[in-house]
Structure 1
Amino acid sequence: MAANDNGAGADFITVGTGEAARQIAVTVQPEASGNMLAHLVWLGGYRSDMSGTKAVELAALAERIGTACIRFDYSGHGVSGGAFIDGTISRWLEETLAVIDHARKTLGTRRVVLVGSSMGGWIALRAVAELVKRKDIAIAGLVLIAPAPDFTSELIEPNLTEAERIALAERGQFEEPTPYGPDPNIYTLKLIEDGRENRVLTGVIETGCPVHILQGMADPDVPYAHAVRLMEHLSGDDVVLTMIRDGDHRLSRPQDIAKIIEAAEGLARLP
């Protein structure tokens, strides 16, 4: 299936059972004949989707070097089903693992480079921990773009206003404006409580693979000190941290994209 930039023509897989079942949109771009490179898997950020600039550029890279690329929308995002307010890290992690299983069954995927942006970086780290237990998928590397592991407990909870705390207690959610779109961000009590159960910055993070972190120093959402802290927790891995002095949170400028693509290609080409 050829890459696209709007989710049109995506396959749909069912994740969950009963009332928790939701349809997840997956775009699978197959590898070229004879490909020996790791497949690329895109993990988007909070409220982003697989039609974003970085995701589409990753698919273009895969086409250029002849490997496969898997993109998808979390439930409540893009063209996937499910309600956004039902979303939690555990729920989106379950969908990520289901998508990787789908790629294994349909493409024969055995080695992957996970490319996670913002919240997708957190989910990538959680996914690695789960995949290592299973041993049916090898992780060739991680590319983490402005990664936001533990953002609910580290970046949201400490900065809640009194009004937001009251809203969480009384309504189970609060909203805040965002410069990335006309609709406000919604954060639910369910998301925050589940985030505590999925923390990764609690000890040494063992991925068993090379990791490349790209972080903007002008990021207003995830302080660059957060990336430095993550690097310290990845003490047993081969980690490269690229600081982009004037980079923002999105890192979607041509010069930023070039660095992301270089990192992803380098890891995909590792033996």
Structure 2
Amino acid sequence: MSTAASSIETVTITVGSGDQARQIATQSRRSKTEASGPALMWLGGYRSDMAGTKAIEMDRLADTHGLAAIRFDYSGHGQSGGDFKDGTISRWTEEALSVLDHEAPESVILIGSSMGGWIALRLIEEIRRRGNGPEIEGLVLIAPAPDFTIELIEPQLTDTERHDLAEKGYFEEISEYSPDPNIFTRKLFEDGEKNRVLKGIVETGCPVHILQGMNDPDVPYTHALKLLEHLPSDDVVLTLIRDGDHRLSRPQDLERMTAAIEEIVQHC
């Protein structure tokens, strides 16, 4: 086993209780020194996991700089337990918060991809509501999809999909990224309404760097522009990538991501 691999701790934590309990798989890299800087925390997208290209690249960057890194799988994703159909923004935010509590870093930079951008913004709200938690040093949001159920999916629903939501409680659509179809539940839509963040001024209290492809078929770049309008009091950098898709996992895209993270780290 390599030295880099041996520095990663893989554990499972229990989130929730009773019939809501689920086992959440986490992988954390310990910092190399006591005062190395903020931890990096990966927040993945809908149906993605902590073994994805961007998540691994974030971990590699943390190792290079001697920083702590935190990755995990939402319930119903990757190595974690739970039924995917039970997943909601509230449920996955609770899991992210529990992982953060378990790791207990003093400060953290949140890196959120697609739906992970929504989770990142909800995490900040929950930490502020509780009045305790790590210092959020910055956000790097990659094709962020806050409020995607209401803003991006619901307006485009077909009559058949609306019927399936009403009658079956879910509908399926072909996925471009997996042989298995995407599943969207009525519960997800109802809970998404309760977790809206684009309803007023969003105050993160930290620098924000948004990376957005202009050829993204899932999250149009106009959605990033809308998010920007809701962040009037934050230091925000928006990078529009003309030929970028939704994944933004090409070598040049990964370089942009690591550069954005490094810039925030340098100012911590």
- State the Cα distance separating 1:2 from its structure 2 match: 7.1
Residues 47-126 of structure 1 mapped to structure 2, 5 A cutoff: 47-104=47-104, 109-126=105-122
Secondary structure of the residue aligned to 2:26 is strand
* Structure 2 contact 41–71 (Cα < 8 Å) conserved: yes
TM-score, normalising length from structure 1? 0.95
Residues 227-269 of structure 1: CA deviation (Å, up to 9, x unaligned): 0000110111000000000000000000000000111121123
Q: Is the 8 A contact 2:101 2:133 kept in 1?
A: no
| Aligned 8 A contact 1:115 1:144 in 2 | yes
> Helix, strand or coil: the match of 2:211?
strand
Residues of 1 paired with 2:256 and 2:197: CA distance?
Answer: 26
What's the counterpart of residue 209 of structure 1? 206
CA distance in 2, matches of 1:224, 1:47: 21
2:212–2:224 Cα contact (<8 Å) kept: yes
2:10 corresponds to 1:14: no
Aligned residue identity for 1:41: M
What does 1:119-268 correspond to in 2, within 5 Å? 119-133=115-129, 134-268=131-265
CA–CA distance in structure 1, aligned partners of residues 186 and 199 of structure 2: 21
Q: Following the alignment from structure 2 to structure 1, what is the Cα–Cα distance between the partners of residues 224 and 28?
A: 30
Amino acid at match of 1:118: S
Q: How far apart are the structure 2 equivalents of 1:214 and 1:129? A: 22
Runs of 4+ in 1 over 3 A off after TM superposition: 1-4
- Structure 1 residue 132: Cα displacement: 2.1
Q: CA RMSD in A?
A: 1.4
Q: How many pairs were matched up? A: 264
Point out the more displaced range, 124-133 or 23-32.
124-133
Cα deviation for residue 9 of structure 1 reads 6.5
SS at match of 1:183: coil
> Is the Cα–Cα contact under 8 Å of residues 85 and 183 in structure 2 kept in the other structure?
yes
Work out the CA distance in 2 between the residues paired with 1:270 and 1:140: 9
Structure 2's unaligned 5+ residue stretches are none
Query: Taking every aligned residue pair, what percent have the same amino acid on both sides?
Result: 61
- What is the rounded CA distance, in whole Å, between the counterparts of 2:121 and 2:127 in structure 1? 10
Is the contact between residue 211 and residue 238 of structure 1 (CA under 8 Å) also seen in structure 2?
yes
8 Å contact kept, 2:42–2:72: yes
Answer whether contact 1:40 1:62 (CA < 8 A) is retained: yes
Separation in 2, partners of 1:3, 1:101? 24
Distance 1:182 1:240 in 2: 35
User: Relative to structure 1, is the Cα distance of residues 122 and 20 closer, same or farther in structure 2, using a 3 angstrom cutoff?
Assistant: same
- Superposed displacement of residue 136, structure 1: 2.8
Equivalent position of 2:25 in the other structure: 25
How many Å separate the matches in 2 of 1:3 and 1:211? 29
On the 8 A contact 1:150/1:199 being kept in 2, the answer is yes
For residues 97-124 of structure 1, the C-alpha deviation after alignment (integer angstroms, 9 at most, x for no partner) is: 00000111xxxx1100000000000000
C-alpha distance in structure 1 between counterparts of 2:75 and 2:124, whole Å? 20
Counterpart of 2:166, as a letter, is A
Q: Kindly indicate whether the alpha-carbon contact (under 8 Å) linking 1:214 and 1:244 is maintained by their aligned counterparts in 2.
A: yes
Q: What is the CA-CA distance between 1:3 and the residue it aligns to? A: 6.4
